[in-house]
Amino acid sequence: MPISVTMPRLSDTMEAGTIVRWNVKEGDEVTSGQVVADIETDKATMEMPVFDDGRIARLLVPAGQSVKVGTQIAVIAEEGEDLAAAAAGGGSTAPAPAAKAAPASAPAAAPSATARESEETLEVGGARVRVSPVARRMAEEAGIPLASLKGSGPGGRIIKRDVQTAIENAGSRPAAAPAPVAPAASAQALAVPVSPSPRASGGLVVAGLESERVAVSGMRQTIARRLVESKTTIPHYQVSMRFEMDRLVALREQLNRELAQTGIKLSVNDFIVRGCALAMARHPYVNASWAGDAIAMHRQVNVGVAVALDESKGGGLVVAVIRDADRKSLRAISAETKALSEKARTRGLSAEDMADSTFTVSNLGMFGVEHFTAIINPPNSAILACGGAIKQPVVRNDELAIGFEMTATLSSDHRVIDGAMAARWLQELKGLLENPATLLV
Active-site annotation, residues:
414
What is the per-residue DSSP string for 119-158? Answer: -EEEEETTEEEEE-HHHHHHHHHHT--GGG----SGGG-B
The 3-state DSSP class for residue 396 equals: strand
Gap between the Cα atoms of 203 and 47, Å rounded: 33
Gap between the Cα atoms of 319 and 218, Å rounded: 16
Gap between the Cα atoms of 276 and 438, Å rounded: 13
CA 417 to chain CA centroid, nearest Å: 30
429 in Cβ contact with 276 (< 8 Å)? yes
User: How large is the C-alpha radius of gyration of the chain?
Assistant: 27
| Burial class for 217, CB neighbours closer than 10 Å (0-12, 13-18, 19+) | buried
- 254 sits in which H/E element: helix 246-258
Gap between the Cα atoms of 436 and 441, Å rounded: 10
End-to-end CA distance of the chain: 59
- 3 sits in which H/E element: strand 3-6
- 432 sits in which H/E element: helix 419-434
- Report the relative pairing of strands 399-413 and 236-244 from DSSP bridges: antiparallel
Omega cis (within 30) before 379: yes
